[in-house]
Homo-oligomer: A and B are copies of this chain.
Amino acid sequence: MMRDVDYIISGGYVLTMVEGASAIRNGAVAVSDGKIIDVGGEKEIAQRYNPKAAAGGRNKAVLPGLINAHTHAAMVYFRGIADDLPLKEWLEQHIWPAEGKWLSDEFVGDATELACCEMLQGGVTTFNDMYFFGDSSAHASKRMGMRAVLGAGVLDFPSVAARNADEYIKKAEVFIRNWLGDELITPSIAPHAPYTCSPETYMKAKRAAERYGVPLHTHLSETQYEVSEAMRKYGKPPVKLLDEIGFLDTNVVAAHCVWVDEEEIGIMAKRGTGVAHCIESNLKLASGIAPVVSMLRHGVNVALGTDGAASNNDLDIFSEMAFSARVHKSMSGDPTAINAFTALSMATSSGARVLGMHDKIGTLEIGKAADIVVVDLNKPHLSPFYDIYSLIVYSMRSTDVESVMVNGRLVVDRGKFLPKDEQEIMDKARWWKDRIADIEQTGKS
């Protein structure tokens, strides 16, 4: 007898992204109550289940929702506010003043809606965030139907969010209690970086995270400046510093890790600390290029992150795959480095492992959450093709995403964003921008 299910999502190729498994030709995924209940050949699935609705079709590929493992979603309102500048000038003269002036619950809520809209349309179903006003981010993410790990930022100095480390952590704990157990939102604590948080602050954050069983998220060894500061202050580089105080662990997501040596990579592998690799942001700010090939060789889990749209300038994981797969070939002098399957794994299964969510997302497997992306293969720039993984990583663009499901809910349907009127979201962005951009110049909008 046929079982009723919510959806059957089919495609000429179903990429489960399970290690060692081949793509399923003419496959399908059955979804019910937010979960994947079966994956297999299209015909078998059609014989077993009676769906209320269908997605996908011929000339499509079905893949796990992509994971953006490091971002500051609400910074999308500062997209391109100050480009082609050195990091210090960019941060101190543009970003921090703009944040100090504009950040609020309202700003973060509105901006997060836009970020979710951009990410979902580009096939990203989960993002790992670090910012402030977490309740607003959480409400906005839920309204947009997106899965998020939201890290409450912690600093040693005052900002619009709090006055000192203890207050940031206290606020983080309130935020955690508000969202613990939510289906889509995972609260976390995010001590900003070794140059803005003392070792004591890091350990306070860690103990708070342990009390609630939530993950941690930090910037780590992003710039040479950060490393030389750590050497000057502590006599050791950031990774060693955080390891020696006992901070590094499997529940830590470390963003960037550009300036880490072989010994530090070994430490991260031993501790099970995952890396969120942000190649586009690192390139654009001329911060350097993380030794990802060596990380993978050491067995470190590596995910892909966009960083904030102010330094990227988008929230596009397809282009992070395209950059990662190409740039590391050149860096290592080895054209076989980071092949297409590995690049797509970093954006899916490895991304889930880095976030500690591999039991729930990252692959198309029975029992996992139905976070599923359908891409359209019937495009001139995708014709012809010989290998589906290569096509996705080297030729596909985020705009080839056709439909997106998060936790069993269809949020993008053949290009249409369903949770909210897209024009309203864009108009709101323009309204904020007109307030932010006080100096109008020819050539600037």
Residue ranges of A at the interface with B (Cβ–Cβ < 8 Å): 12-13, 22-23, 25, 77, 79-87, 90, 114, 117-118, 121-122, 280, 282-289, 309, 312-316, 319, 322-323, 325-327, 329-330, 332-337, 339-340, 378-381, 383-391, 394-395, 397-400, 417, 422-423, 425-426, 429-430, 432-433, 437, 442-445
Across the interface, do A312 and B83 meet the contact criterion of CB distance under 8 Å? no
* Residues of B with C-beta under 8 A to A80: 385-387, 390-391, 394-395
Closest partner residue, chain B, to A82 (CB atom): B386
Q: Which of A315, A388, A397, A422 has the most CB of B within 10 A?
A: A397
Shortest Cβ distance from A69 into chain B, in angstroms? 19
**Tally of this chain's copies:** 2
Q: How far is the CB of A328 from chain B (nearest CB, A)?
A: 9
Given A84-B336, A444-B387, CB of A326 within 8 Å of CB of B378:
no
* Distance, CA A313 to CA B390, complexed state (A): 9
Q: Is the CB of B114 within 8 A of A289?
A: no
Given contacts A326-B280, A443-B22, contact A384 B314 (CB under 8 A): no
Say yes or no: A86-B313 contact (C-beta < 8 A), given A284-B394, A426-B380.
no
A51 to B429, CA, bound (A): 34
On chain B, the residues within 8 Å of A285 by CB distance are 329, 335
A56 to chain B, nearest CB (A): 16
Q: B residues within 8 A CB of A334?
A: 86, 286
Contact A336 B443 (CB under 8 A): no
- Given contact pairs A284-B335, A330-B289, A433 touches B313 in the complex (Cβ within 8 A): no
A364: min CB distance to chain B, Å: 14
- Across the two chains, which residue of chain B brings its CB closest to A80? B390
- Residues of B within 8 Å of A86, CB to CB, are 334-336
B330 touches A380 (CB 8 A): no
User: When chains A and B are docked, how far (Å) is the Cα of A334 from the Cα of B88?
Assistant: 12
Residues of B within 8 A of A398 (CB): 381, 397
Determine the residue in chain B with the shortest Cβ distance to A94: B386
Chain B residues near A87 (CB-CB < 8 A):
335
Residue pair B380, A117 in contact (C-beta under 8 Å): yes
CA of A367 to CA of B379, assembled, Å: 35
Is A395 in contact with B314, judged by CB distance below 8 angstroms? yes
Interface pairs (8), CB distance under 8 Å: A283-B330, A289-B330, A314-B395, A316-B397, A380-B417, A381-B398, A384-B445, A399-B400
